C-alpha cells in the first residue's frame, strides 16, 4: 500500500517579501511491501490450570506487516503475545517465527526467540545500568559483540529514538516517554525480525504518549514487522495493516482499520467499540 505524497503548499507570491528558500516537502511515507509469513500461529490453546485462556488462535503475520490487537481486559491479548515471545508455554498448537518453531529442537527454538523483540507497558529497563549499558548488555553477552561495536550501534539506535543525549543517564533520571523509547532502542539492538508491544503507552502520562507512538510509527515505515497491543485508535488507523479484535481467548474479527472502526462486522466488536470510542 502506498500513500499519496503530501501536497506541496502553493507558493506565496508577494512582491515585498524576500525570496525565502523553499522548505523541502517531507519525504512521502511509503509502506514497504509485505513479504512472506513472519509469524505463524496455528491452533494455539493455552490453559492456566483449569482456565482455558487461548481457545484456538490462528494468525499469520507477514514480513513488514503491522497488526494492532484490541480487545477487552482479560481477553488473552498479553497471553498471546507472550506465547509468541516464548515467555509463556502453550499446550496445543504451533507458533513459528521466521520459519523457526518455538517448540522445535533447542537450536531452532532459540533462533525463534532471538528474532523477536518485546516492549512492555512498564519499560522493564535495568535500573542499575545506564541507558547505553541497557542497550549494549544483550548484544555483548548474547550476541558476543565487542563493546565498541555494541556501543556504536546502541548510540545510533538511541539517536534514532531521539534520546542520544540521555545515553549516560540511569533510567530513573529519564521521563517515562524517554524510558520507553530507551526500551525500544534496547530491543532493536538485538536486531529482531519482529517487534511485539504490550500496551507500550498505557503507563505514560498523556503528554508523553505521542513521542512514543511517533517512534513506533517511524519504525513501522522503516519496515519493521510489528504486533502491537494498543487501544490508541489514531495509531491503529495510521499504522495497522489489520486490526485483530480478541475476546474471551479467541480472535473474533480481523479487518483493515478503516473497515473495523467504521463498520465492524461482529456484534462483540461493535459492543467493544461503543464502549471505547
Ligand atoms: N499467570 C497467570 N495465572 C493465571 N491466570 C492468568 C495469568 N496471567 C493471565 N491470566 C488470566 O488469563 C486471562 C487473559 O489475561 P491477559 O492475557 O493478561 O489478558 P489481556 O492482556 O487481554 O488483558 C485473564 O483472565 C487473566 O486473569
Ligand atoms: Mg494485557
pLDDT digits (tens, 9 = 90+) for 191-219: 999 999 999 999 999 999 999 999 999 99
Q: Ligand 1 pocket test: pick from 48, 249, 276 the residue with the most ligand atoms within 8 Å of its Cβ.
A: 48
**What spacing in Å lies between the alpha carbon of 213 and ligand 2's midpoint?**
18
Strand partners, 37: 62
pLDDT at 252: 98
130 lines ligand 1 (CB under 6 A): no
Residue 211, all three cell numbers = 513521542
Q: Could you say which ligand is closest to the alpha carbon of residue 121?
A: 2
Q: Ligand 1 pocket test: pick from 76, 90, 203, 249 the residue with the most ligand atoms within 8 Å of its Cβ.
A: 76
Residue of 265, 161, 277, 244 lying closest to 208 (CA atoms): 161
Residue ID of nearest Cα to ligand 1 atom 6: 48
**What spacing in Å lies between the alpha carbon of 80 and ligand 1's midpoint?**
10
Residue ID of nearest Cα to ligand 1 atom 9: 79
**What spacing in Å lies between the alpha carbon of 121 and ligand 2's midpoint?**
9
134 lines ligand 1 (CB under 6 A): no
pLDDT in tens, 152-195: 999 999 999 999 999 999 999 999 999 999 999 999 999 999 99
74 lines ligand 1 (CB under 6 A): yes
Q: How far apart are CA 236 and CA 116, in angstroms?
A: 21
Residue 13 has pLDDT above 50, yes or no: no
* Strand, coil or helix: 219: helix
50 lines ligand 1 (CB under 6 A): no
Q: Are 170 and 116 in contact (CB under 8 A)?
A: no
Residue 77, all three cell numbers = 491479548
Residue 41 has pLDDT above 60, yes or no: yes
Is residue 43 very low, low, confident or very high in pLDDT (cuts 50, 70, 90)? very high
Q: Could you say which ligand is closest to the alpha carbon of residue 47?
A: 1
pLDDT at 17: 45
Average pLDDT over residues 226-243: 96
48 lines ligand 1 (CB under 6 A): yes
**What spacing in Å lies between the alpha carbon of 251 and ligand 2's midpoint?**
15
pLDDT at 29: 76
Report percent pLDDT > 70 for the chain.
90
pLDDT at 26: 65
Residue ID of nearest Cα to ligand 1 atom 20: 74
The mean predicted confidence, pLDDT, of the chain is 91
Residue 246, all three cell numbers = 480478541
Residue 25 has pLDDT above 50, yes or no: yes
Is residue 1 very low, low, confident or very high in pLDDT (cuts 50, 70, 90)? very low
pTM: 0.89
pLDDT in tens, 56-102: 999 999 999 999 999 999 999 999 999 999 999 999 999 999 999 99
Q: Are 250 and 266 in contact (CB under 8 A)?
A: no
Q: What angle do the packed helices 131-141 and 176-188 form, to 10 degrees?
A: 20
Q: Of 4-13, 132-141, 188-197, 243-252, give the lowest mean pLDDT range.
A: 4-13
53 lines ligand 1 (CB under 6 A): yes
Residue ID of nearest Cα to ligand 1 atom 27: 74
Residue ID of nearest Cα to ligand 1 atom 25: 74
Is residue 22 very low, low, confident or very high in pLDDT (cuts 50, 70, 90)? low
Q: How far apart are CA 99 and CA 88, in angstroms?
A: 19
Residue 127 has pLDDT above 90, yes or no: yes
230 lines ligand 1 (CB under 6 A): no
Distances (CA, A) of 169 to 45, 75, 143, 173, 202: 43, 38, 24, 6, 24
Amino acid at each position: 500500500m502506498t500513500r499519496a505524497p503530501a501536497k506541496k503548499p502553493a507558493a506565496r507570491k508577494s512582491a515585498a517579501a524576500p525570496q525565502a528558500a523553499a522548505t523541502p516537502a517531507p519525504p512521502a511515507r511509503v509502506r514497504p511491501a509485505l513479504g512472506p509469513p513472519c509469524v505463524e500461529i496455528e491452533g494455539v490453546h493455552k490453559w492456566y490450570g483449569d482456565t482455558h485462556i487461548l481457545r484456538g488462535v490462528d494468525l499469520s503475520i507477514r514480513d513488514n506487516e503491522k497488526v494492532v490487537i484490541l480487545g477487552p481486559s482479560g481477553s488473552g491479548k498479553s497471553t498471546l503475545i507472550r506465547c509468541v515471545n516464548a515467555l509463556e508455554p502453550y499446550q496445543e498448537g504451533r507458533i513459528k517465527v521466521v520459519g523457526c518453531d518455538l517448540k522445535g529442537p533447542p537450536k531452532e527454538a532459540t533462533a525463534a526467540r532471538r528474532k523477536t523483540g518485546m516492549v512492555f507497558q512498564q519499560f522493564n529497563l535495568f535500573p542499575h545500568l545506564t541507558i547505553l549499558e541497557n542497550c549494549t548488555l544483550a548484544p555483548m553477552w548474547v550476541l558476543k559483540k565487542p563493546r565498541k561495536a555494541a556501543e556504536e550501534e546502541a548510540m545510533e539506535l538511541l539517536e534514532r529514538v531521539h534520546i542520544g543525549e540521555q545515553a549516560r543517564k540511569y533510567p530513573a533520571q529519564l521521563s517515562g516517554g524517554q524510558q520507553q523509547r530507551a526500551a525500544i532502542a534496547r530491543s532493536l539492538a538485538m536486531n529482531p525480525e519482529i517487534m511485539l508491544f504490550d500496551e507500550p503507552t498505557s503507563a505514560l502520562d498523556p503528554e508523553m504518549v505521542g513521542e512514543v507512538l511517533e517512534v513506533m510509527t517511524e519504525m513501522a515505515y522503516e519496515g519493521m514487522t510489528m504486533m502491537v497491543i494498543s487501544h490508541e485508535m489514531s495509531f491503529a488507523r495510521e499504522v495497522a495493516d489489520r486490526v485483530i479484535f480478541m475476546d474471551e481467548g479467541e480472535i473474533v474479527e480481523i479487518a483493515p482499520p478503516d473497515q473495523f472502526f467504521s463498520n465492524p462486522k461482529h456484534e462483540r466488536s461493535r459492543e467493544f467499540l461503543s464502549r471505547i470510542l
